[in-house]
């Protein structure tokens, strides 16, 4: 098997799809829906960050946050390029995505404003981290143009979660910095359930279909469990406590 072959699912070992017409219709439809949601989250997060653009507590924070916004905007552009491969329908959806305002977005996590700097940090640390699980699967997925767009996005998402983690750590440990440990814990409790919701419904038919289509490597529930396992030591290292993964959830 080479890098150009589909690695799992119904078409395993065949060449990756290079355009949507090559895909079984049901799989192409699912790709459209996944890209639609992905693009929406990228643009939405810029709207959430925007009020803090010149409010960050330090010069370095201001620069890094501006970098996060620039990256997310380009991720949105890259995902829209995949949507445009669906022809007129894709182009129309891109126009619609560009007109959406905060509050109109598909996932709850992306309609919640950042009231405190701790929201910026906890969001990038815990919600952006979910993106890494999704993008990591797309990197090897059956749709070639998407798989090839992912490495740079993944690299940048690593920077985003590092920015969030380091900021929260400073909030806990450095009295001269913005906020304090309680504020960091509150922000963790606010965003952790929203991050877990982002993996999607455990019993969703589309979750298994995405695996069959070679788009996602694991189901929503398996990815969510792995996330909880991975963030537990990070939360411990911050000196914070992990909220109950089943509490405060809207999607499970
Ligand atoms: Fe992104
Ligand atoms: Fe990000």
* Residue 10 pLDDT: 87
Structure confidence at residue 30 (pLDDT): 95
The tens digit of pLDDT for each residue in 197-246 reads 999 898 888 888 999 999 999 999 999 999 999 999 999 999 999 999 99
Q: Does the CA dihedral 66-132-31-104 come out positive or negative?
A: negative
Q: Ligand 1 center to residue 175 CA distance, Å?
A: 31
122 C-alpha vs ligand 2 centroid, how far in Å?
12
pLDDT along the chain (252 residues), means of 10: 84 91 95 96 97 95 97 97 97 97 93 97 98 92 95 96 98 96 98 95 88 91 96 97 95 82
Going from the Cα of 69 to the center of ligand 1, the distance in angstroms, rounded, reads 9
Ligand nearest to the CA of 158: 2
CA of 133 to the centre of ligand 1 (A): 12
Query: So what's the pLDDT on residue 192?
Result: 97
Q: Does 159 fall in a domain?
A: yes
Distance from the CA of 236 to the center of ligand 1, in angstroms? 26
Q: The CATH number of the domain where 210 resides is what?
A: 1.20.1260.10
Q: Is residue 85, in this structure, part of any structural domain at all?
A: yes
pLDDT at res. 7: 87
Domain region containing 187: 23-238
Kindly state whether residue 9 falls inside one of the protein's structural domains. no
How many A from CA of 71 to the centre of ligand 2? 7
Q: How far is the CA of 109 from the centre of ligand 1 (A)?
A: 14
CA of 176 to the centre of ligand 1 (A): 30
pLDDT at 205: 85
Ligand 1 center–CA 135 separation, angstroms: 9
Answer whether residue 248 is part of any domain.
no
Q: Which pLDDT does position 139 carry in this prediction?
A: 92
Q: 64: CA distance to ligand 1 center in Å? A: 14
pLDDT of amino acid 50? 97
Among all ligands shown, which has an atom nearest to the Cα of 41? Answer: 1
Report the pLDDT value the prediction gives residue 169, as an integer from 0 to 100.
98
Tell me if 17 is assigned to some domain: no
Ion ligand 1 neighbours (CB, 5 A) are 42, 72, 75
Asked if the structure places residue 70 within a domain, the reply is yes
Count of domains forming the chain: 1
Q: Cα(18) to centroid of ligand 2, in Å?
A: 26
pLDDT at position 3 is: 76
Report yes or no on 202 lying in a domain. Answer: yes
**Per-residue confidence (pLDDT) for residue 204, from 0 to 100:** 85
Which residues surround the ion ligand 2 when the cut-off is CB under 5 Å? 128, 157, 160
C-alpha closest to that of 224 among 207, 205, 241: 207
Rounded distance from Cα 199 to ligand 2 centre (Å): 15
Domain contains 7? no
> How far is Cα of residue 30 from the mean position of the Cα atoms in its chain?
17
pLDDT score, position 136: 92
């Amino acid at each position: 098997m080479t890098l150009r072959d589909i690695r799992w699912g119904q078409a395993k070992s065949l060449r990756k799809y290079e355009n949507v017409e090559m895909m079984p219709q049901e799989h192409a439809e699912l790709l459209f829906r996944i890209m639609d949601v992905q693009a929406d989250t990228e643009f939405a997060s810029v709207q959430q960050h925007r009020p803090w653009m010149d409010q960050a507590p330090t010069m370095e924070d201001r620069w890094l946050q501006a970098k996060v916004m620039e990256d997310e905007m380009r991720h949105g552009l890259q995902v829209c390029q995949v949507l445009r491969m669906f022809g007129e329908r894709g182009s129309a959806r891109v126009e619609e995505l560009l007109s959406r305002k905060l509050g109109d977005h598909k996932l709850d996590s992306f309609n919640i404003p950042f009231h405190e700097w701790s929201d910026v940090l906890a969001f990038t640390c815990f919600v952006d981290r979910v993106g890494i699980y999704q993008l990591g699967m797309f990197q090897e997925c059956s749709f070639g143009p998407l798989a090839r767009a992912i490495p740079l996005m993944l690299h940048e998402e690593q920077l985003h979660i590092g920015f969030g983690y380091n900021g929260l750590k400073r909030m806990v440990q450095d009295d001269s910095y913005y906020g304090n440990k309680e504020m960091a814990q509150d922000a963790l409790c606010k965003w952790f359930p929203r991050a877990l919701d982002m993996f999607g419904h455990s019993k969703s038919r589309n979750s298994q279909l995405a695996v069959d289509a070679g788009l996602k490597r694991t189901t929503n529930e398996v990815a969510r469990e792995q996330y909880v396992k991975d963030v537990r030591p990070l939360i411990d290292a911050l000196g914070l406590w992990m909220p109950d993964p089943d509490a405060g959830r809207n999607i499970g």
